[in-house]
Structure 1
Amino acid sequence: MLHGKRVLAAAVAVGALMTGSVAAQAQTPQRIGQFNDWGAISYQSGGAKVCYVVSVPLTKQPSNVNHGDNFFVVTQRGGQNVTFEPQFIAGYTLQENSKVTVTVDGAPFSFFSKDNTAWTENAAQDPALVAAMRAGSRMVVQATSRRGTNTTYEYSLSGVTAALNAIQNCQ
């Protein structure tokens, strides 16, 4: 249950991050539900509804560095033709031009990074990654900080299917 409370706090924090850039147009994030290790959230932005699922890592390596708050998010934007867009949000600046690797039960996906966020290198891979997340049990994210520290995060995929189903028809 402690992890679920951390996910709920993460969902609110991510909502603040996501709505902060469009604060004048956005409303307060609304919780759709908590599904084991994944939370589902929605908010209004520019007249459109945005929904996302979010989780926080179970483990962070190396253990002797400050990782900040790290999240894995999958976004669904009503009216914008964005369907299940995965992204990793780090609690620090990622190394410029570095790749982030997201591995789901052994299947790797390559992400590009900008500042503290990373997205799939090829948006055509998004459906395959989301399908792997739905079928998988464990996801590992490997990234490099601006300082050159190699980091690894392990996420549980328990509840991700129910959370994604909850935002499937985000309008």
Structure 2
Amino acid sequence: MIRLAAVALLAAAAPLQAKDSLGVFGDWGAFRDELRNGGGPRCYAIAMPAPSRLQRDHEPYATIATWPRRAIRGQVHFRLSRDLRDAAAVTLNMNGKRFTLTGGGADAWAQDRAMDAAIVAAMRSASRMTVSSVDRSGRRFSNTYTLDGASSAMDAATVACARR
């Protein structure tokens, strides 16, 4: 069910010209699209977190993207379920490793390319990851993702953008 939801989410997520499905791998999907105005391809793996009955301001998802024309590979991005409190820390936990992300609004990213690479490497050996922070009203929240299929989806996205 999460697999199909991730595919449906992707179909509506970004206002880009063309989206090609590269496949669904476990709980992750992989896609390739062409950016508008000759921006070239963007390829990415995407997943939705585990369902929750708690209030959500946004439909959360995680992406790992490659942008060849921008020389970016493995860029980590999280759309969070809640709007962040100003200056709130955003933490990603996997296998006992903690990463402090940067973010604003309802989005969070790795602080730099080295952290992107470290997160992607950790994802390859973990079974789940949890992003947590504090929302505008001061309540803690988290989004938990299973990583079943994440490695295959990331690999499919990387290969799709490597082809010319």
Q: Give CA deviations for 1:56-76 in whole Å, capped at 9, x if unaligned.
A: 11144xx44235310011111
Cα separation, 2, equivalents of 1:121 and 1:78: 20
Q: Which residue of 2 aligns with 1:31?
A: 21
Equivalent residue runs for 1:108-119 within 5 Å? 108-119=98-109
Q: Which residue of 1 aligns with 2:145?
A: 155
Q: Which residue of 2 aligns with 1:12?
A: 11
1:52 and 2:44 aligned: yes
Q: Which runs of 5+ in 1 are unaligned?
A: 20-25
Taking structure 1 as the reference length, what is the TM-score of the superposition? 0.85
Contact between 1:90 and 1:116, CA under 8 Å: does it hold in 2?
Answer: yes
Q: Which residue of 1 aligns with 2:79?
A: 89
Compute the RMSD of aligned alpha carbons: 1.6
The change in CA–CA distance for 1:155 and 1:64 in structure 2 (over 3 A counts) is: closer
Q: Report the more deviating stretch, 114-123 or 99-108.
A: 114-123
Q: Which runs of 5+ in 2 are unaligned?
A: none
The change in CA–CA distance for 1:28 and 1:109 in structure 2 (over 3 A counts) is: same
Cα separation, 2, equivalents of 1:162 and 1:75: 13
Contact between 1:11 and 1:40, CA under 8 Å: does it hold in 2?
Answer: no
Aligned residues: 159
- Determine what percentage of the aligned residue pairs are the same residue: 26
TM-superposed CA distance for 1:85, in Å, is 0.4
TM-superposed CA distance for 1:93, in Å, is 2.1
Q: Give CA deviations for 1:60-112 in whole Å, capped at 9, x if unaligned.
A: 4xx44235310011111022110100011024422222221111121111101
